Amino acid sequence: MARKAERWNCDVLVVGSGPGGATTSCLLAEAGRDVLVVEEGRHLSLDSAPSYSLDEMNQKYRNGGLTTTFGPTNVTYIEGRCVGGASEINAALYHRPLPETLEEWRRDYRISNFSPESLEAHFEASERELSVSRRPQGVGEASDRLRTGADALGWNSTEIERCWKYEKKDTSTWTDRRQSMSETLIPRMLAAGGRLEAQTKVQRIVFEKGKARYVFATQTGPDGEEIDIRIEFETLFVCCGAVHTPLLLRRSGLKRNVGDSLQLHPMVRIAVRFDESVSDPSVGVPVHQVEEFKPHLTLGCSHTSLAHVALWLAGDIDDKRALLERWDHMAVYYALCTSTARGKVRNLPVFNEPLVRYPLTSEDMKLLGEGLYRLGELAFASGAREIFNPVEGGPTLKRPSDLEPFRSGVPHGKVNVTSIHLFSSCPMGEDQSRCVVDSYGRHHAVSNLYINDASMLPACPGVNPQATIMAIVRRNTENFLRQL
């Protein structure tokens, strides 16, 4: 029996519903445009699974969170695959980029009308829409320990704001809820008349006479039946993220500069044991970060639970069972680095999956070593009893002098490196020798094709990127509407 086939039409097609796609589609729908959003993943509520659980990873992460790059040291990276994208699963930390970072991008990539001042109104709009604020009922012991350690060392640290809504129920009780895209901009887009089709994967863009004319997509129905769909449009916004945006463009024949300059924030973690209980999952992700070494290095504390402690207890450790029985006496700290490497995104023939190469440089490995050294200093200054060495075969660390080997860097292939921030695979700017899109996200060769997601950031922002992405996307979308 032949597969069912359909033909859809819209004025604007938005591929992807993460922070880039949700912002784009919401602004366009509220401006009266006929908008259709297609999303490869499922449309799920925030409450469909507990945060940071195995169920959530299976439901909302691509490949269960186990996708990896290839290089001398592999990097395991996380991508959201659901309506709302990464905003449904990340820590919801909101951090504006450093002004000097924006100025460097403007200068080096020749981005027009691009400055902190020109983006100010867009940052402010996102902050209102996402209820960006600090936690009113205390930050938890693990976060307090990080702040205490930073103070003891004389390092600058701060409580990072979050995309989170807090409401007081009575004199002592608060309710709180993550302000992800499925909670905020997607409902607004639908209320304004936009349409959303989940479990719909765009396979290829078709071009005619220098313009994108339609896409071929496949939708998976509730019973698993697949429907072939042709979607016709006037304008196309691709917002699939730093890996899948270049993947779609290359699969469709657009290859110049596409997927040639991927960057990410590599991250290393340590498990730290204290004499006292420091971790309570109900508090959420610890919100303090050490800013002393930004933008090259950020230190913070991850969500800590029994499963996460078990994951990050590396090496040969005597009696892990006893440690895990008192897992709440442990915290997981991270060092996030600004990488100097440039990776490539390519299509794997037949499998329709990406091949991501990311050769961490010697400078990256040295910076990761510095990150571990600084993390160790921070942990011991916070009152840590011992640190479990993340380097394969390394001994447990019991005193600051044990940290010295990290100062020369970490060896390739001997430490678990992860990333939750990927970008820069289709950079924006007027320098056509390396940029895929212009200063406002329009493709240099295809006049009705736009990119509006993390892939257009020119380089590592050095901070959690969601604020930067959403501000630039708002700027680009408003510019598109002014040109009509």
The residues that are catalytic are: 421
Q: Which residue has the tokens 């600004």?
A: 338
Q: Residue 38: enclosing H or E segment and its boundaries? A: strand 35-38
Peptide bond preceding 295 in cis form (omega within 30 of 0): yes
Separation between Cα atoms, residue 350 and residue 352, nearest integer Å: 6
In whole angstroms, give the CA distance from residue 40 to residue 240.
9
Ordered DSSP codes for 419-453: ES-EE-SS-BSS-TTT-SB-TTSBBSS-TTEEE-S
Cα(27)–Cα(24) distance, integer angstroms: 6
Give the type of residue at 432. Q
DSSP-assigned letter for residue 9: E
CB under 8 Å, gap of 24 or more: what pairs does 112-119 form?
112/430, 112/439, 112/440, 113/439, 114/439, 118/475, 119/471, 119/472, 119/475
Distance CA 258, CA 252 (A): 11
Quote the Cα angle for 379-381-386, to 5°: 45
The residues facing 227 across adjacent strands are: 219
Q: How many residues does the chain have?
A: 484
Residues 6 or more apart whose CB falls under 8 angstroms from that of 48 comprise 56, 59, 60
Helix/strand/coil for 408: helix
Query: Are 339 and 460 contacting, i.e. CB atoms less than 8 angstroms apart?
Result: yes
Burial class (CB in 10 A: 0-12, 13-18, 19+), 48: middle
Place of tokens 């449309």: 43
Q: What is the DSSP string of 255-305?
A: -TTTTS-BEE--EEEEEEE-SS----GGG-S--EEE-TTTTTEEEEE----
Return all residues near 123 (Cβ < 8 A) that are at least 6 apart.
96, 467, 471
Phi, psi of 371 (to 5 degrees): -60, -45
Neighbours of 466 (CB within 10 A): 26
